[in-house]
């Protein structure tokens, strides 16, 4: 049924636990073979439920999930051949690392020498060849994480799911593991569906990111598109830092539109998610795309602002200003000769291009 | 341990220099530390003291007393001290000399009726007949004015001329005896202090021991079989449902043990609810009612019901800590649900199984009230014999020996268990 290039397909999938609230609403996703897809969203947004349905631990209330063109709703989890890395790893505490890795192979009735060889190979891949005889609890968090990863790959599944696998690690280890997982994915070319609430993790690792909120995918695209071109106010706000100015659409002119703030300032923006004149809209703008006291003249938008607060962050100065009635407006000023002479309370001129400000829905 | 820091301190001092380390104020460090710790130590001692005292009085001293009583044989020596002194010199070949008869005569004649009565009870364990002999003699000895005593005593009762009686005294000469322990396993001393089997019709304890273990093991087994699934269900349900079900499991604790036992009597007797229902439903004929009460079956059924919560509680608290992700991971890796349970879930629940089985077995092996009420003749356990000797025959020595054996067996089992499974594998929560 699924189209030829979609390896995993969610077709109009709904999920409800109590018959009253839908935690996943009308989900439609196609995942091509070999992709690293991340489901990103706040807690309760339905991303983990989606993963659990794919793994087979939850049954969709409506719709159908396809794996390689085969409907899998009625296939029990142990027959799906999908690897999974669990939150907190779920390594079997009474078995050694070797026995943990051998478990899926023994279940598949491989012969002893094949099992030994595969276990060894996979452990070497995650650089834990020496640790096969340890118990999981004798390993550090990072090592346990790698064992869990190895266990999910050792039986060569068609698809690997990861449910916030790095959540329990400290920041440095987490970053290191992100690269490691990314490299393993690139090397063996397996399809990965990854769940996280950490946007930098998602940006680092993924081919594509699906941003979840309120049981729905808000936007699904590559990391750069997601950051540069958010399609609605939630995505703009959830991914990276973002300034938001609210107002009413005054006029629409092809690709651009003019939004008048409550203070009466006219902002020229890209028309992204507004339909008609008179709609209320949120204009979204990245802090690094705003210039202070620029002398060049090719900016469509230029407003007077007042510096409220300066926070020194080494490479840049985080500057909070009041502009167009918003006193939480952030500008990132590089710590160069130009930005060094700002003082709190002074008036400055802010400028930005129409192509950097995006008129989105109101939220 | 508390003393280790001091030991450590000593070592450092010896290695470096003979002078003690001083604090800034010039007081030796050791003294200063002791002073600083003293308050805490006193506080800890005071907090523990009431319980410690209570346990000492109600637990440790009675156990010590019981252990002493099970081997104690000194009372008889205080009643016939001189006789026993002379007895030791007797060659056990012919009847004793006139001198021994004479000593015995005066100690019986002059001894108080109470202490002689108490002593004869003990003497009867060694050779039955002593009690009536001494009772009769005590009365008749008053008429005898002067010696020689040997012939006159034999004239009063010819048992005084029976070697067996005299020999039997030898068993009691030592102030300690293993006789009670021998009795507890169907052995005894004969008059020559050789260990022999009890007479066929007096052998009851070995049989009872075997039954006690059998019943305890069966009760433990049934509790596990019945308790494991319910504990599993409880541990996987959301907390609000599991709490409700937990109350149902604990409900029996709210009713008295006696009430529950009597309720079972109503249920299981031949004209009881269970049999009546079966007869009404035409499952069995009226004359073929099951005999479910006043036998071993009844003991097992009722004890299983009563001890079930002690299995469920530790199982449940251990299962609660087993992450549901283990089972999920096992399924995800391709194991069938049964395989996943057997290889992954079950091994992780072993600490709960151990704790539950241990608790139920220990409680079952010393159970008394339930077998007493529902066990009839066939369902009696060792606890019932202990109670019987304590209350009815007043043979406290035998009671104590039975109790001590029970205690010893449990200690050995505990040791074996520790060797096999490891005590750190017991978890109650």
B376: left (phi over 0), alpha (psi -120 to 50) or beta: left
Residues B92 and B36 in one domain: no
- Mean per-residue pLDDT for B256-268? 90
Contact criterion met (CB < 8 Å) for B332 and A83: yes
* Local structure of A281: helix, strand or coil: strand
Burial of A361 (0-12, 13-18, 19+ CB in 10 A): middle
Proportion of chain B above pLDDT 90, given as a percent: 45
Show residues of chain A in contact with B324, CB under 8 Å. Answer: none
Residues A57 and A148 in one domain: yes
d(CA B82, CA B89): 12
Which range (A54-68, A87-101, A287-301, B196-210) has the least confidence?
A: A287-301
- Mean per-residue pLDDT for A69-95? 93
Residues B29 and B150 in one domain: no
Residues B142 and B286 in one domain: no
- pLDDT over threshold 70, residue A332: yes
- pLDDT over threshold 60, residue B15: no
Q: Place B17 in a pLDDT band, splitting at 50, 70 and 90.
A: low
Query: What residues make up the domain containing A47?
Result: 8-233
Residue among B323, B325, B333 whose CB faces A107 most closely: B333
Residues A253 and A337 in one domain: yes
d(CA A276, CA A261): 16
Q: Place A147 in a pLDDT band, splitting at 50, 70 and 90.
A: very high
CA angle A344–A349–A354, rounded 5-degree value:
130
Show residues of chain B in contact with A53, CB under 8 Å. Answer: none
Q: What integer best gives the mean pLDDT of chain A?
A: 90
Q: Which pLDDT value is given to residue B3?
A: 39
Query: What residues make up the domain containing B161?
Result: 75-202
- pLDDT over threshold 60, residue A131: yes
Show residues of chain A in contact with B340, CB under 8 Å. Answer: 78
Q: Looking up tokens 């008036």, which residue turns up?
A: A347
- Mean per-residue pLDDT for B186-203? 88
Contact criterion met (CB < 8 Å) for A92 and B330: yes
In a domain, A314, yes or no: yes
Show residues of chain A in contact with B347, CB under 8 Å. Answer: 94
Proportion of chain A above pLDDT 90, given as a percent: 55
CB atoms within 10 A of CB A328: 10
Q: Which pLDDT value is given to residue B11?
A: 44
Contact criterion met (CB < 8 Å) for B348 and A108: no
Contact criterion met (CB < 8 Å) for B347 and A94: yes
Q: Which pLDDT value is given to residue B10?
A: 44
Count: domains in chain B: 3
Residues B179 and B273 in one domain: no
Contact criterion met (CB < 8 Å) for A92 and B333: no
- pLDDT over threshold 70, residue A5: no
Residues A217 and A296 in one domain: no
Residues 6+ apart with CB under 8 A from A139: A97, A131, A147
Compute the count of residue pairs across chains A and B with CB atoms less than 8 Å apart.
62
Contact criterion met (CB < 8 Å) for B332 and A94: no
Residues A212 and A272 in one domain: no
Q: Which of B69, B85, B106 is the last residue of a domain?
A: B69
Contact criterion met (CB < 8 Å) for B340 and A78: yes
**pLDDT digits 0-9 by tens, A213-232:** 999 999 999 999 999 899 98
In a domain, A1, yes or no: no
In a domain, A346, yes or no: yes
Residues A345 and A299 in one domain: yes
Contact criterion met (CB < 8 Å) for B326 and A94: no
Residues A229 and A239 in one domain: no
Contact criterion met (CB < 8 Å) for B348 and A94: yes
* Local structure of A193: helix, strand or coil: strand
| Domain harbouring A128, CATH code | 3.40.50.300
Residues B63 and B80 in one domain: no
Q: Place A338 in a pLDDT band, splitting at 50, 70 and 90.
A: low
Proportion of chain A above pLDDT 70, given as a percent: 97
Q: Which pLDDT value is given to residue A122?
A: 93
Picking from A90, A94, A95 by the largest number of B CB atoms within 10 A of its own CB, the best residue to mutate is: A90
Show residues of chain A in contact with B326, CB under 8 Å. Answer: 90, 92
d(CA A220, CA A235): 10
- pLDDT over threshold 90, residue A345: no
d(CA B300, CA A35): 62
Q: Which pLDDT value is given to residue B7?
A: 42
- pLDDT over threshold 50, residue A190: yes
- pLDDT over threshold 70, residue B313: yes
Please report, in angstroms and rounded to a whole number, the separation of the first and last CA atoms in chain B.
Answer: 26
Q: Which of A233, A254, A277 is the last residue of a domain?
A: A233
Q: Which pLDDT value is given to residue A117?
A: 94
ipTM of the complex: 0.84
Q: Which pLDDT value is given to residue B210?
A: 95
Picking from B329, B338, B350, B425 by the largest number of A CB atoms within 10 A of its own CB, the best residue to mutate is: B329
What are A18-22's contacts with CB under 8 Å, separation 24+? A22/A61, A22/A215
Show residues of chain B in contact with A90, CB under 8 Å. Answer: 323, 325-326, 328-329
Please say whether the beta carbons of B185 and B198 come within 8 A. Answer: no
Give residue ranges of A with CB < 8 Å to any B CB. 55-57, 76-84, 86-88, 90-94, 103-104, 107-108, 151, 155
Q: Of A306, A305, A251, nearest to A274 (Cα)? A: A251
Sequence length of chain A is: 363
In a domain, A267, yes or no: yes
Chain B residue with CA closest to A77: the answer is: B332
Show residues of chain B in contact with A81, CB under 8 Å. Answer: 334
Chain B residue with CA closest to A101: the answer is: B333
Please say whether the beta carbons of A47 and A39 come within 8 A. Answer: yes
Q: Which pLDDT value is given to residue B24?
A: 81
- pLDDT over threshold 90, residue B56: yes
- Mean per-residue pLDDT for A84-113? 94
Chain A residue with CA closest to B339: the answer is: A107
Task: Give strand pairing partners of A304.
Answer: A349
Residues B86 and B42 in one domain: no
Residues A216 and A297 in one domain: no
**pLDDT digits 0-9 by tens, B331-374:** 999 999 999 999 999 999 998 998 899 989 999 999 988 999 99
* Local structure of A158: helix, strand or coil: coil
Residues A104 and A160 in one domain: yes
**pLDDT digits 0-9 by tens, A234-281:** 999 898 888 988 899 988 888 889 999 888 888 888 988 888 888 889
Residues A295 and A148 in one domain: no
Q: Place A25 in a pLDDT band, splitting at 50, 70 and 90.
A: very high
Give B232 to chain A, closest Cα distance, Å: 18
Q: Place B429 in a pLDDT band, splitting at 50, 70 and 90.
A: low
Q: Which of B202, B219, B237 is the last residue of a domain?
A: B202
Please say whether the beta carbons of B186 and B203 come within 8 A. Answer: yes
Show residues of chain A in contact with B333, CB under 8 Å. Answer: 78, 83, 103-104, 107, 151, 155
d(CA A346, CA A310): 11
Contact criterion met (CB < 8 Å) for A104 and B333: yes
- pLDDT over threshold 50, residue A67: yes
Show residues of chain B in contact with A87, CB under 8 Å. Answer: 325
Picking from B333, B343, B348, B425 by the largest number of A CB atoms within 10 A of its own CB, the best residue to mutate is: B333
Count: domains in chain A: 2
Q: Which pLDDT value is given to residue B21?
A: 80
Residue among A56, A90, A94 whose CB faces B329 most closely: A90
- pLDDT over threshold 60, residue B242: yes
Residues B136 and B96 in one domain: yes
Which range (B15-29, B125-139, B330-344, B381-395) has the least confidence?
A: B15-29
* Local structure of A18: helix, strand or coil: coil
d(CA B380, CA B378): 6
Q: Which of A206, A233, A260 is the last residue of a domain?
A: A233
Proportion of chain B above pLDDT 70, given as a percent: 94
């Amino acid at each position: 049924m699924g189209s030829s290039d979609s390896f995993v397909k969610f077709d109009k999938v709904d999920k409800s636990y109590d018959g009253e609230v839908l935690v996943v609403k009308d989900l439609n996703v196609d995942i091509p073979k070999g992709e690293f897809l991340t489901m990103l969203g706040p807690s309760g947004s339905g991303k983990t439920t989606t993963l659990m349905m794919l793994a087979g631990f939850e049954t969709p209330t409506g719709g159908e999930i396809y794996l390689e063109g085969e409907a899998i709703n009625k296939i029990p989890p142990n027959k799906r051949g999908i690897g999974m890395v669990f939150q907190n790893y779920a390594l079997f505490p009474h078995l050694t690392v070797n026995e943990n890795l051998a478990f899926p192979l023994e279940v598949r009735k491989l012969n002893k020498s094949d099992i030994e060889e595969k276990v060894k190979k996979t452990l070497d891949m995650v650089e834990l060849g020496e640790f096969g005889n340890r118990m999981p609890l004798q390993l550090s968090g990072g090592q346990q994480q790698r064992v869990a990863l190895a266990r999910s790959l050792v039986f060569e599944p068609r698809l690997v799911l990861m449910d916030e696998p790095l959540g329990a690690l400290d920041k440095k280890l987490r970053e290191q593991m992100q690269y490691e997982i990314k490299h393993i994915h690139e090397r063996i070319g397996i399809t990965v569906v990854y769940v996280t609430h950490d946007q930098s993790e998602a940006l680092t690792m993924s081919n594509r990111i699906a941003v979840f909120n309120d049981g729905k995918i808000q936007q699904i695209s590559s990391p750069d598109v997601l950051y540069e071109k958010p399609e609605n106010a939630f995505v703009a706000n959830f991914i990276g830092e973002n300034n938001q100015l609210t107002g009413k659409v005054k006029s629409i002119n092809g690709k651009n539109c003019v939004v008048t703030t409550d203070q009466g300032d006219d902002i020229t923006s890209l028309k992204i998610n507004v339909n008609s004149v008179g709609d209320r809209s949120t204009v979204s703008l990245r802090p690094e795309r705003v210039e202070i006291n620029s002398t060049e003249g090719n900016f469509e938008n230029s407003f007077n602002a007042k510096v409220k607060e300066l926070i020194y962050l080494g490479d840049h100065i985080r500057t909070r200003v009041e502009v167009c009635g918003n006193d939480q407006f952030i500008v990132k000023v590089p710590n160069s000769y130009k930005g060094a002479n700002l003082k709190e309370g002074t008036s400055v001129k802010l400028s930005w291009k129409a192509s950097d400000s995006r008129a989105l829905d109101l939220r | 341990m508390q003393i280790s820091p001091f030991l450590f301190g000593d070592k450092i001092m010896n290695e470096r220099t003979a002078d003690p380390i001083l604090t800034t104020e010039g007081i030796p460090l050791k003294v200063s530390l002791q002073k600083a710790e003293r308050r805490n130590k006193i506080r800890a001692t005071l907090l523990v003291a009431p319980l410690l005292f209570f346990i000492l009085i109600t637990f440790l001293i009675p156990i010590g007393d019981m252990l002493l009583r099970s081997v104690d044989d000194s009372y008889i020596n205080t009643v016939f001290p001189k006789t026993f002194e002379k007895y030791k010199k007797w060659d056990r070949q012919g009847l004793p000399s006139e001198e021994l008869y004479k000593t015995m005569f005066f100690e019986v004649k002059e001894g108080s009726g109470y202490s002689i009565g108490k002593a004869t009870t003990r003497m009867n364990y060694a050779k039955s007949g002593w009690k009536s002999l001494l009772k009769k003699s005590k009365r008749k000895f008053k008429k005898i004015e002067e010696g020689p005593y040997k012939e006159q005593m034999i004239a009063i009762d010819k048992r005084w001329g029976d070697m067996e009686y005299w020999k039997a005294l030898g068993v009691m000469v030592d102030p300690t005896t293993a006789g009670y322990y021998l009795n507890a396993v169907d052995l005894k001393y004969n008059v020559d202090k050789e260990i022999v089997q009890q007479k066929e019709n007096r052998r009851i304890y070995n049989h009872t021991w075997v039954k006690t273990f059998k019943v305890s093991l069966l009760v433990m087994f049934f509790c596990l079989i019945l308790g494991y699934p319910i504990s599993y269900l409880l541990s996987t349900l959301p907390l609000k449902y599991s709490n409700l079900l937990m109350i149902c499991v604990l409900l029996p604790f709210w009713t008295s043990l006696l009430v529950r036992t009597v309720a079972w009597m109503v249920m299981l007797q031949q004209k009881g609810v269970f049999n009546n229902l079966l007869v009404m439903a035409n499952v069995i004929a009226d004359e073929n009612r099951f005999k479910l009460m006043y036998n071993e079956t009844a003991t097992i059924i009722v004890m299983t019901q009563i001890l079930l919560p002690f299995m469920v509680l530790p199982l449940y608290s251990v299962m609660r800590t087993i992450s549901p992700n283990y089972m999920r991971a096992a399924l995800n890796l391709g194991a069938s649900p049964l395989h996943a349970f057997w290889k992954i879930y079950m091994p992780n629940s072993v600490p709960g199984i151990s704790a539950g089985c241990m608790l139920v077995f220990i409680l079952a092996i010393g159970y008394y009230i339930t077998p007493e009420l529902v066990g009839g003749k066939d369902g009696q356990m060792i606890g019932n014999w202990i109670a019987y000797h304590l209350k009815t025959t007043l043979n406290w020595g035998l009671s104590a020996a039975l109790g001590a054996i029970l205690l010893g067996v449990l200690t050995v089992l505990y040791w074996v268990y520790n060797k096999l499974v490891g005590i750190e594998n017991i978890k109650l929560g």
